[in-house]
């Protein structure tokens, strides 16, 4: 799957992924109104509003952006109806030939980890049939429980040609409370990065591994170190834009050929219509605003990379 992701990044010249993280406060009033008229102010109504919102954004970005990253919590908050829309969104993105990174941050051991891996990346046996549950292309995974939590995902990745992005250095302000602690003279995130490199050898694509890493844009100096620690890992970089990460901070995450990393933006793209610079589109044309914001992000990052 990493081969497909790299190919799409090259073809679109867009090392970016759009986080489909819908919140009701982001969804324009006219979209909510239409959904509530059909289903009432219910979980079903909220789910319909999210679906129409996602669909319009996908329709406007699928040809310029290689991948999307739906954060499952934004769907789980609406219960079963929200999870149905999560699956509907994954399927629709696949129809548009987009790569889907399920931001699920799973992390457990044994049969539980196996079940998570099957649910999001694999197939589950039902009677005589093997059925596909959520069917993302990649999933984010928390490594805190060690290899017992990662190996079941690697097994499924090898079986299904799927991938994972392992949390190494996250973009949130308090990440250093644990991740920066020194062990044998090195911060914990470097030790995790070394394990990502080790795990990645078990799950290689042509040039990069199907085992990637999550490293926040807000820590570019650490990204520079981790790029060397994990030479075959593709790096998923959150924190651009709304969280303070700037394009010029991102060059350390990439290799000299401009590959090796993919940068995420969520509300900066999906809620672009609410920003002053895209106000001209208006709420009615929120999808077009998202497209322009994505184009601007691509240009910003490529400019910093000298492309």
C-alpha span between 5 and 185 (Å, rounded):
35
Cβ partners under 8 Å of residue 276, min gap 6: none
CA distances from 21 to 51, 269, 280 (A): 12, 10, 23
Q: How far apart are the first and last CA of the chain?
A: 25
Which has the closest alpha carbon to 267: 15, 23, 92?
Answer: 23
- Cite the active site residues: 105
Q: Is 37 exposed, middle or buried (0-12, 13-18, 19+ CB in 10 A)?
A: exposed
CB 32 within 8 A of CB 24: yes
SS3 of residue 202 by DSSP:
coil
| 88: nearest Cα among 75, 106, 105, 99 | 75
**What tokens appear for 143 in the block?**
């490594």
């Amino acid at each position: 799957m990493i081969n497909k992701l790299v190919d799409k990044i090259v073809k679109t010249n867009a090392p970016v992924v759009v986080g489909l993280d819908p919140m009701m406060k982001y969804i324009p009033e006219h979209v909510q109104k239409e959904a509530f008229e059909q289903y009432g102010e219910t979980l079903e109504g909220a789910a319909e509003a999210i679906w129409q919102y996602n669909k319009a954004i996908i329709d406007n970005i699928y040809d310029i952006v290689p991948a999307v990253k739906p954060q499952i919590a934004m769907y789980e908050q609406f219960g079963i109806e929200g999870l149905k829309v999560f699956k509907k969104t994954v399927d629709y993105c696949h129809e548009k030939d987009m790569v889907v990174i399920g931001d699920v941050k799973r992390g457990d051991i044994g049969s539980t980890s196996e079940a998570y891996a099957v649910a999001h990346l694999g197939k589950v046996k039902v009677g005589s049939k093997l059925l596909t549950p959520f069917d993302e292309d990649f999933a984010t995974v928390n490594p805190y429980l060690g290899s017992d939590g990662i190996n079941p995902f690697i097994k499924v990745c090898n079986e299904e040609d799927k991938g994972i992005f392992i949390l190494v250095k996250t973009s949130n302000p308090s990440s250093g409370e644990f991740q920066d602690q020194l062990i044998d003279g090195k911060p914990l995130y470097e030790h995790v990065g070394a394990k990502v490199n080790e795990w990645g050898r078990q799950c290689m694509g042509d040039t990069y591994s199907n085992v990637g890493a999550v490293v926040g844009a807000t820590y570019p100096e650490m990204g520079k170190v981790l790029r060397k620690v994990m030479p075959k890992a593709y790096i998923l970089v959150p924190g651009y834009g709304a969280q303070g990460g700037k394009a010029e901070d991102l060059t350390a995450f990439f290799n000299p050929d401009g590959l090796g990393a993919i940068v995420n933006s969520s509300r900066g793209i999906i809620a672009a219509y609410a920003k002053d610079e895209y106000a001209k589109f208006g709420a009615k044309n929120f999808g077009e605003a998202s497209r322009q914001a994505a184009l601007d992000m691509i240009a910003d990052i490529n400019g910093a990379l000298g492309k």
